[in-house]
A = this chain, B = another copy of it.
Amino acid sequence: MRAVSLVPAWGKAGCRRPAGRNSLAVIPSSLGSRPLERLCRCSAVQACSSVITQYRYYTLIASIFCFEYETFDACSRSAGPFSPICAGTLLMARQKARLKDIAAKTGYGTNTVSLALRGSTRISAAARDLIRKAALELDYVPNNIAKSLVSRRSNTVGLILHEITNPILTSAAKEIQLALASRGYGVLFATSNGSFDEELHAIEMFRSRMVDGLLIYPLVHSRLDHLRRLREQNFPVVLLVGVQDSGIDVVGIDEFVGAHDATRHLVDQGHRRIGALVMLQYGTSQKHDGYVAALEAAGLPVDPQIIGSCLNHSIEGGIQTMDSIMHGPDPPTAVFCSSDILALGALRWARIHRRTVPAELAIIGFDDIESASHAVTPLSTINNNVDELARRSVARLLELIDAEGGLPPPRTSLLHGDLVVRESSATDAAAGSTATPTIDTRSS
């Protein structure tokens, strides 16, 4: 019993067992008390050993004296006779092959093996092939952790999403991951999950894991100081939201212009009383500002009564917030929603309350998620070019990572989101008149 409980210690950090690597400890039972060398000649042990060897394990013969030794090392250092206490054999977890193992197998040095596997021309073809073959046989997988330690690069970037239920963020995540994978980068991922502390925590976690850079949809567009500080420390960060003058690199949809275009479109459709569903809990937002600007440009009043602030980004949240802006004395005839999910909530609200869309209530969303074009009433929206966003943000991040001698000055790339007019906002969708809208033909 006691012997078994000692076994797990092998292979643990700090436990030295140069002879124990990839080895099988044969702990014979009922062989009596005898010196180690005699145990090795025991036929049962030898038979076992030859089987073990076939599996590319070394054989390590041992018999653990019950109380005297605390560790296997202490045991194996002892010169005295051993008392067997445990029956049978114990198979150690086979450890991963290292360069050193390939070197031992082929007779070359570790350095030669390293160069050969990386295809250096300084190594002879014969040696290279031999080494490659040995690596394959041993199922060698290079240890990137060790590589990172010396190269000071983890070839990993961190991705923080503030919300994963939003299809736009997840499809961005997908495109980003694929783009990075094709360049040999891994993606460490975290959700800030609606809490700023979690965002900070995720960043801290990423930093301690030595990510080479960070792509982030920040939770609060106005709280970016922690990210600016990272940048000052020469840590590459790219924001995925279209904020202006952040002092950080930005690749994102121009939310102000998008919201402005969407609201303007409602104005152009003849609406004079236009409400909004936005996310305001962390202060103002670009989308809110764009909405307000479009109203002001059209000479329309901005009425807080019909601007609903949603707490969470969901259909349910959209329905509830619609309730709050529609029950007033002068409800809006059109609503700008800062995301398609909220717009689907608004659509649902309209159905529950038997308002026809767009005749009694026009609705426009933001993002152009798949469900938007397949909704009961196909949703007008602002197209969010996710592929472009992923492509450009990854390209910029890698530029920052590869920047030699300090980060270049921050650059803001705002992508334009196209207005897509469908049934939910246009009494006659085909007559869509503003901002060269894309008419979606599938929505008939």
Q: A58 to chain B: which residues have CB within 8 Å? A: none
B residues near A142, Cβ cutoff 8 Å: 208
Pairwise interchain contact A404-B233, C-beta atoms closer than 8 A: no
* Contact A154 B145, beta carbon cutoff 8 Å: yes
| A174 to B194 CA separation, bound complex (whole angstroms) | 12
Interface residues of A in 150-176 (CB under 8 A from B): 150-152, 154, 156, 159, 164-165, 167, 170-171, 173-174
How many monomers of this protein are in the complex? 2
Q: How long is the Cα–Cα vector from A348 to B442 in the complex, in angstroms? A: 11
CA distance A209 to B404 in the complex (A): 25
A374 to B167, CA, bound (A): 16
Contact of A405 among B8, B146, B148, B314 (CB under 8 A): B8
A433 at the interface (CB under 8 A from B): no
| Stretch of A87-95, A253-261, A263-271, A329-337 that contacts chain B | A87-95
A90: B residues at CB distance < 8 A: 405-406
A85 CB to nearest chain B CB (Å):
16
Within 8 A of B (CB), among A335-378: 344-345, 348, 351-352, 370-371, 374, 376
Q: Determine if A191 is an interface residue (Cβ-Cβ < 8 Å).
A: yes
Query: Which residues in A have some Cβ–Cβ distance to B below 8 Å?
Result: 4, 7-8, 11-14, 90-94, 139, 141-146, 148-152, 154, 156, 159, 164-165, 167, 170-171, 173-174, 177-178, 181, 186-191, 193, 201-202, 204-210, 233-234, 314-316, 344-345, 348, 351-352, 370-371, 374, 376, 404-406, 444
